Amino acid sequence: MNIIYQIKHVRFNNLWVDIPLVAFVKQGIKKVYFNDEIYEINEGEMVILPNGVDFHSENIPNQNGIYEACCLNIESDFFIKANKHFDIITQEKPTPLKITNGVEDIANAFFNIEKSPNSQNIPDEILQLRKQELVFWLAKHNYFFPINKNNNIKSVVSRIIFSDISFEWTLELIAKKMGIGVSNLRQKLAQEGTSFQKIIIEARMIQTLELIQTTNKSITNIAFCVGYSSVSRFSERFKNRFGISPKTLSLHEKNIIKG
């Protein structure tokens, strides 16, 4: 589970997640912009963000100047299993799902997933059961999450890159891993309006944003973690993408320490 602390009011445009993301807002307000809808998640409320679609996110600190949220990725299979169990057919196009009813039950299951002080040592079998419990509590309170089954080429390439974000991926290596020709892969990406270079830069920036928001790693360390040898080039990329420098946003530079 990742804990996000921020002391600045910031908005991040054109975000996406490859795995559905459950977020619980502890302090401040989170606004999610999806298509023409605005979802406002206040303190003590939750939201599930769908995978594979673009959205904008705005994090607003409270009167004490703090925004804090707990975030956890829940794999699509858990939602699919719950939907089948309750014989639910969800809408084809996924949208964010704001949780307002039954929050206490759902939040208890959410925080129980990694409740142990040594949460990193929880056996995988127990972790999977706790995730399924969370999704079933959602279903118990009539929250059924639509799954984005879109398995386009961009998503496949992104998943490979995210599997080892610091690795020096090339189009040739990706094509080999996917079992298709380089020219074929390039053509398929072009048909989706993107390219390998765009995807790898975007993946690195999304991973950078997560590391800045959830760790105390230095900017230099984060740059190396996401595959950049030049910190200045890394910082320039980040500012061009999000409109704010990594140093300004960084927990490390602001000396905010997680409890």
- Give 90-140 pLDDT, tens digit per residue: 656 778 889 887 788 888 888 888 665 455 667 788 888 899 999 999 888
Q: How confident is the model at residue 205 (pLDDT cuts 50, 70, 90)?
A: very high
In sequence order, the β-bridge partners of residue 49 are 21
In sequence order, the β-bridge partners of residue 31 are 40, 58
- Residue 134 to residue 113: CA distance in whole angstroms: 8
- Residue 132 to residue 151: CA distance in whole angstroms: 23
Q: Which pLDDT tens digit goes with each residue over 217-231?
A: 889 999 999 999 899
Torsional sign, CA 134, 140, 142, 144: positive
In sequence order, the β-bridge partners of residue 34 are 37
Angle at which helices 231-242 and 196-214 pack, to 10 degrees?
90
- Residue 58 to residue 47: CA distance in whole angstroms: 13
DSSP three-state, residue 208: helix
pTM of the model: 0.81
- Residue 215 to residue 3: CA distance in whole angstroms: 8
Q: What is the pLDDT of residue 201?
A: 93
Q: What is the pLDDT of residue 259?
A: 40
Residue spans of alpha helices (H) in 65-120: 76-85, 103-112
Which region among 138-152, 191-205, 211-225 has the lowest average model confidence (pLDDT)? Answer: 138-152
- In the chain, the N- to C-terminal Cα span, in Å, equals 14
What is the chain's length? 259
Q: Are 12 and 209 in contact (CB under 8 A)?
A: yes
Average pLDDT of the chain, as a whole number: 85
**What's the rounded mean pLDDT across residues 240-258?**
70
39 or 19: which leads in pLDDT = 39
Q: Domains of the chain, with CATH numbers?
A: 2-140 (2.60.120.810), 153-254 (1.10.10.60)
259 or 176: which leads in pLDDT = 176
Q: Which positions ≥6 away from 202 have C-beta within 8 Å?
A: 158, 241
Q: How confident is the model at residue 150 (pLDDT cuts 50, 70, 90)?
A: low
- Residue 7 to residue 256: CA distance in whole angstroms: 9
User: Within a 10 A sphere around the Cβ of 154, how many other Cβ atoms?
Assistant: 21
- Residue 204 to residue 47: CA distance in whole angstroms: 24
Q: Are 78 and 144 in contact (CB under 8 A)?
A: no
* Percentage of the chain exceeding pLDDT 90: 42
